[in-house]
Chains A and B, each alone.
Chain A
Amino acid sequence: DAMVIQNPRYQVTQFGKPVTLSCSQTLNHNVMYWYQQKSSQAPKLLFHYYDKDFNNEADTPDNFQSRRPNTSFCFLDIRSPGLGDAAMYLCATSRDGQGNLGSDTQYFGPGTRLTVL
């Protein structure tokens, strides 16, 4: 059974047209993460939520926003996608990362591959 679900799996959008990617989890984990991964590169953390607390990475462009309306769901909004935003977007969860063994292990969804035309 899928534990971290991402929709859609493939998204095509036009330059400048807003897009929303969604992630849901059945693990009841406290922490949810959004990563951007381009070809042959490491996943790059955009931001994460610890419960309702939003933590933005310093180099994440303002074009990227996120919402977490409840424990299970988290959304990535790209307000004005550029050609350089074409990538795989990965959602991940972890229990809490607060020092307990295994609590910081991250579990990934299958990703959404974004194409910008």
Chain B
Amino acid sequence: RKEVEQDPGPFNVPEGATVAFNCTYSNSASQSFFWYRQDCRKEPKLLMSVYSSGNEDGRFTAQLNRASQYISLLIRDSKLSDSATYLCVVNGGFGNEKLTFGTGTRLTIIP
């Protein structure tokens, strides 16, 4: 089983729609969870951090379910500029500075 698993997509979604991504992780000791956004041929950029059950920032909501080892990202009222690859990222446990990246979910917003 992969340490971090994501549906690779691609997701092709009309502008204004709501889209949700799922991610599962295998290390039950993981404490920190992140969603990064990566545009084509660019570096990953932090979108959201999740340390408790969830986090909301404008149109973006992340939820964490520790019992099921599952993280989700919800994007509401999607915009053309949301087109990117979304990486689910998990740390190795308390005091472990290393992060494990999922392979990403590709999202394209269609006008």
Contacts and interface: CB of A to CB of B under 8 A. Distances in A.
A92 B82 CA distance: 23
Interface string A85-114: 000101000101111011011111111010
Nearest to A4: B43
Interface residues of A, number: 26
Interface stretch (A42-50, A63-71, A74-82): A42-50
Interface stretch (B14-22, B57-65, B72-80, B100-108): B100-108
A51 B7 CA distance: 36
Contacts, number: 54
A88 B91 contact: no
Nearest to B4: A42
A86 to B, nearest CB: 14
Given A42-B87, A42-B104, A99-B94, A104 B99 contact: yes
A42 B105 CA distance: 11
B13 to A, nearest CB: 20
B111 interface: no
B75 to A, nearest CB: 21
A111 B97 contact: no
Given A42-B104, A50-B97, 11 more contacts: A42-B87, A48-B98, A90-B43, A97-B95, A99-B95, A105-B34, A105-B49, A108-B44, A109-B43, A110-B43, A111-B42
